[in-house]
Amino acid sequence: MKSTVDRRTFIKLTTAASGALLVGVYLQSCESDKPPAMVHTFSPLIKIDTDGWVTLIAKNPEIGQGVKTSLPMILAEELGAAWNKVKVVQADYDEIYEEQWAGGSYAIILNWDLMRTAGAKVRQVLIQAASKKMNKAVSELSTANGEVRHLKSGDALPFEALLTEATQIPLPEEVEFKPLDAFEIVGKHVPQVDLDTLVNGGMRYSIDIKLPEMVYATVLKNPVHNGGTGTWDDTATRAVNGVIDIVELNNKAYGGRLIGPNSPNFVNGIAVVANTTWAAFKGAEKLKVVWDNDGAQRESSDGLMERFRAQLDHTTVERKDGDITQAQRNAASNYEAVYEVPFLAHVPMEPMNCTVDFREDLCEVWAPTQNPEALQQGLIKLFGLQPEQIKIHLPRIGGGFGRRYYVDYAMDTAILSKKMGRPVKLTWTREEDIKHDWYRPASVHKMTASMDGNGKVSGWRHILANASRKTSLGRDGRPAGTEIDEYEFPAGFIANLQLEYGHVISDVPLGQWRAVGHSATAFAVHSFLDELAFLNKRDPIDYFLEFLGPARMVPVVDEYAFDAGRLIAVVEKVRQLSNWDSSLPKGQGRGFAARKGAGSFIAEVITVSTDKNGKVKILGVDAVVDCGVVINPSGARAQVEGAILDGLSAALYGEITVKDGATVQSNFHDYRWMRMGEMPEMRIEFIENDLPPRGLGEPPLPPAAPALANAIFAATGQRIRKLPIKNVELGT
Amino acid sequence: MPSYTLRINNVKKTVSTDPDTPLLWVLRDLLDLTGTKFGCGKGLCGACTVQYKGNPVRSCTLAISSALEGDILTIEGLSPKEDHPVQRAWVELDVPQCGYCQSGQIMEAAALLSKNENLTDNDINAAMEGHICRCGTYSRIRKAIHLAAGKLEK
């Protein structure tokens, strides 16, 4: 398998730190009778001190996906460290780390080889140092549990006894990885780092930062998407105890709207600065604003969906295999269905916030961001700063789901801190968060299958119409891509296949939402396959397996092939796990969907019951996952449970609507997500293999909606073609 | 601004603020007790849950002027060394994902267990209904509450 990490990253991160860093640094000792430990830095990711403590740097933002534990586990594994003598330290943003972001389920994919290389290099110099000291051949030495061991004699030396010698040895260019069957940390259930402060309130998230002289702020943004600022009366606001200032946030003053996911764009509005967050909230509520909405389209959801439907006939072809027209003409039958999904908000539990201390020499930022590079670039564009004038800290993040890929709230904060000349902590209300999200695009999907007399599919046409997230930042932008790309399943499996995209320009701000395009396309594709199975009077799993054909590598595009065998294997396993072939009582039904995402293969079966009032109860979820090597079973299982619950919540309830250009929903009462009592039993199994680990934070999400909708069909005979399910009248 | 004396985690604290200031912001901004989290500001998500007179309350909607008569317990005061049975169970089952909602969940669970140790799944679901976890840790939370109940009996 070709590594996805480029050479440059490897060289920077796995070579010795600069000379200055190589010199040992004494730590302050807490106990006066004990000499302080001296820390030896081997590389930007690994330090070892003379007390035997290994410090590993967690480079990527932790948003709850577990990377602060899983990436250091890989480092520790190759190093041969003792996990109970490892300290994990969160990195600040630094260009040296590269790929220092959280998104697309990429953390493990991009860092697996990198972490192994970094760990193995330091292991090799420790072994070389031990070889001299112990007078044993390098080939007879190995590391484990914080020691270099000579297995034949049973002799061992702890890492701390080798530091002076080891730091004199240059890190090797070539490394040899540990064989997977020798792993002692990776693959074991490892409780996450930071558990103590996560249960005692001690964890400082970005929203908990407090600095000397800091003031607090909040924003009131123009509720109309793509609206301007306006004029306001702040008499009542200024009368609120604690209110210090009112500041206009006008993006025209900073170049206006800019295109692209790394844009420093922020939404027009007014900020209230005060001596507490509460005073700022109260002050913002009392602002009387006449917003300038001259430039806005003032759309409504109904009107937008109508435009998407109309756009199905005006498309560009994204992929064309064979001849779909000919296939349709030659088919015994053609079957068509249209599916629709709504806008979705992210609502991470930690509302949007940021703390900035904008000083003359340095702009220091504490941000809950999945995308620190975009934040840095935003500050450079907005203020003309140099990279070295910006310091970005990455505290733990209270959930992201794609929302924190955008850095609008951080731009707000930097403007305020610069204006106030002191540190500012900005906190958005939940209402501002929901009304000014970068929503999952709503979309309409028209599916057409051409079949022979036996129901075998010979032609597949999928047309998607929406306002793409890729043009979310301006109505003049053209899509840099779409939600349906050349990889969309079943590309490669069907000889005559056409994927098309109809683009509508809208003011509704759009962005990445967990599993990105898959969250919508999977619902259309896997509901449609279930419809085809029913149409042909076939069992849905049998029909899907026939649709996939034999286990083989299916070429999709140059250098990328789909391993059908791995998908078939998870489907067959979920069939057993769920007792798919057993009968269910009347009123209950099972639904199935299986898909590849972020390199992983997932099959899900959902069992539901519905009562005569149409209330759906999810009785159980069975999922089989092949993500290659599982780094940490505890964290991996948590990701699967969470992603499936997210998929189910969105399918049942998730819906953002716009009216007259503004978002209708405002808080958790009208943007509902599942609660504990609705959490179904989940049986989750992982396929064990030695293949490189792949993404897990997103892939279990997309199959959940179609599996649920297919289960409702099995239970009631009612087909769900439009999400969310709460809007569908279900009665039997 | 008026001055108020509160009893928080067995310590008397005096603050000056408007009478309508929610307890949440007194804790977070005036007293730097940031373990209690802001989630919705309307009592809809449970992230800000603390105990007042032994009962779970949403501190984002409880005005300071209404919180003067009894003891306030926050996550920071639940136990001296994160060894409350609920906290031990949370650690044992590796419950949190992002962790942001967990202070509120733990304070609710601790209040629930202080009144009833024999809990069914339905009892737990009903008591925890007011809490949202966007990461989906619900099943581990439910297991951890059962586990904590077992630890209490010992």
Can you give the pLDDT at residue A255?
77
SS3 per residue for A572-611: HHHHHHCCCCCCCCCCEEEEEEEEEECCEEEEEEEEEEEC
Can you give the pLDDT at residue A104?
87
How far away is chain B from the Cα of A481, in angstroms, using its nearest Cα?
29
ipTM summary value: 0.98
How far away is chain A from the Cα of B139, in angstroms, using its nearest Cα?
7
Residues above pLDDT 90, as percent of chain A: 85
Pick the CATH number of A538-732 from 3.40.50.10420, 3.40.50.970, 3.30.365.10, 3.40.50.1980: 3.30.365.10
| Confidence band of A1 (pLDDT split at 50, 70, 90) | very low
How far away is chain B from the Cα of A50, in angstroms, using its nearest Cα?
28
Mark residue A183 as left, alpha or beta (left: phi above 0; alpha: psi -120 to 50; beta: remaining).
Answer: beta
Chain A partners within 8 Å of B101 (Cβ): 349, 398
Nearest chain A residue to B126, by CA: A677
Nearest chain B residue to A275, by CA: B29
Q: Looking at the predicted structure, is the pLDDT value of residue A347 above 70?
A: yes
- How would you class A43 by CB atoms within 10 Å of its CB: exposed for 0-12, middle for 13-18, buried for 19 or more? buried
Q: What is the pLDDT of residues A486-520, one digit of tens each?
A: 999 999 999 999 999 999 989 999 989 999 999 99
Neighbours of A481 (CB within 10 A): 14
User: Nearest CB to B132: which of A191, A401, A675?
Assistant: A675
The class (CATH top level) of A7-186 is alpha beta
How far away is chain B from the Cα of A398, in angstroms, using its nearest Cα?
5
Nearest chain B residue to A674, by CA: B132
Task: Retrieve residue A523's tokens.
Answer: 């619902």
Say what the pTM is.
0.95
Cα diameter, chain A: 88
Q: What residue type is assigned to position A690 of the chain?
A: D
Are A206 and A350 within 8 A, CB to CB?
Answer: yes
Sequence-distant (≥ 6) Cβ neighbours of residue A114 within 8 angstroms: A5, A9, A10, A13, A14
CATH 1.10.150.120 range(s) for chain B read 85-153
Mean pLDDT within A237-254: 95
Q: What residue type is assigned to position B65 of the chain?
A: S
Chain B partners within 8 Å of A677 (Cβ): 122, 125-126, 128-129
Q: Looking at the predicted structure, is the pLDDT value of residue A388 above 80?
A: yes
Can you give the pLDDT at residue A478?
62
| Confidence band of A253 (pLDDT split at 50, 70, 90) | confident
Regarding the domain with residue range B85-153, which homologous superfamily does it belong to in the CATH classification? [2Fe-2S]-binding domain (1.10.150.120)
Q: What is the pLDDT of residues A519-539, one digit of tens each?
A: 999 999 999 999 999 999 999
Distance, CA of A390 to CA of A321 (rounded, Å): 49
Distance, CA of A529 to CA of A445 (rounded, Å): 14
Task: Retrieve residue B117's tokens.
Answer: 């140790």
CATH 3.10.20.30 range(s) for chain B read 3-77
How far away is chain A from the Cα of B129, in angstroms, using its nearest Cα?
6
Q: What residue type is assigned to position B110 of the chain?
A: A
| Confidence band of A27 (pLDDT split at 50, 70, 90) | low
Contact A207 B141 (CB under 8 A): no
- How would you class A399 by CB atoms within 10 Å of its CB: exposed for 0-12, middle for 13-18, buried for 19 or more? buried
The class (CATH top level) of B3-77 is alpha beta
Contact A642 B135 (CB under 8 A): yes
Q: What is the pLDDT of residues A402-448, one digit of tens each?
A: 999 999 999 999 999 999 999 999 999 999 999 999 999 999 999 99
Nearest chain B residue to A202, by CA: B35
Distance, CA of B150 to CA of B146 (rounded, Å): 6
Q: Looking at the predicted structure, is the pLDDT value of residue A357 above 60?
A: yes
Alpha helices, H only, A361-505: 372-383, 408-420, 430-435
| CATH number corresponding to A206-295+351-435 | 3.30.365.10
Chain B partners within 8 Å of A640 (Cβ): none
Q: What is the pLDDT of residues A112-168, one digit of tens each?
A: 999 999 999 999 999 999 999 999 999 999 999 999 999 999 999 999 999 999 999
Chain A partners within 8 Å of B61 (Cβ): none
CATH 3.30.365.10 range(s) for chain A read 7-186, 206-295+351-435, 538-732
